[in-house]
Amino acid sequence: MSRPFEFLPSQPLEPRVRFLHPGDVALAQRGERLDTLLGSCVAVLLTDPKRTVGAMCHIVHTSQRAPQDPHDTRHGQAAMRTLFAQLRAVGFAPEHCEAWVCGGGNMFPERVNSYAVGDANLDWVNEFLANAGIPVLAESVGGPFYRRIAWTIGDAEPIIEEIPVEDLSH
């Protein structure tokens, strides 16, 4: 004897999550999530104005010293070049995107109380975005903080948690 078809209550699907390590560059579609953890590194998050696609890079170095591998995305130029290429590959012009900038923390506030590595990284990223004509919607930068970022591509802004450096030293 056959049983009638049963409808199960719909369960919300968990978004696909990609965790970016230093030097990673990733592209995601609406509903997917990009996560990372930053110290003095800087994350650039780009999205189209309708929030249908998002891209993130985790930049470690922004110095003008040329890396041994020009495609090493731990370096700012290569990371942004790769980020732009990924956006173009799915039909989005990076110069029409909007940005969030996160990170650039001072990981050694007891030793460095002036211009730190994070400050240099932020200066480079801000100059790069300004030259590309990309508006920065918001930023969470500087200070003695790590930052945990969770960004589900869509209408909501990224969730950025600031973690004081001293909280992790105990």
Residue in the block written with tokens 């001072």:
106
CA–CA distances in Å: residue 165 to residues 32, 45, 90, 118 = 29, 23, 38, 14
- The CATH number of the structural domain formed by 28-168 is 3.30.1330.200
- Which residues on adjacent β-strands are paired with residue 136? 99
Mapping DSSP to helix (H, G, I), strand (E, B) and coil, where does residue 134 land? coil
For residues 86 and 78, the answer to whether their CB atoms sit within 8 Å is no
The pLDDT value recorded for residue 170 is: 46
Mean pLDDT of the chain: 88
Residues 6+ apart with CB under 8 A from 118: 39, 40, 41, 42, 103, 104, 105, 106, 107, 141, 142
Which amino acid is present at 104? G
E strand or H helix at 117? helix 117-132
Q: Got the DSSP string for 31-100?
A: T-EEEEEESSSEEEEEE-TT-SEEEEEEE-B--SSPPSSTT-TTBHHHHHHHHHHHHHHTT--GGG-EEE
Predicted confidence (pLDDT) per residue in 59-89, tens digit: 998 876 666 777 889 999 999 999 999 999 9
The pLDDT value recorded for residue 69 is: 77
How many CB atoms sit inside 10 A of residue 84's CB? 21
31, two tokens: 């509903």
Stretch among 24-28, 133-137, 165-169 having the lowest mean pLDDT: 165-169
The pLDDT value recorded for residue 31 is: 95
For residues 44-63, average pLDDT: 94
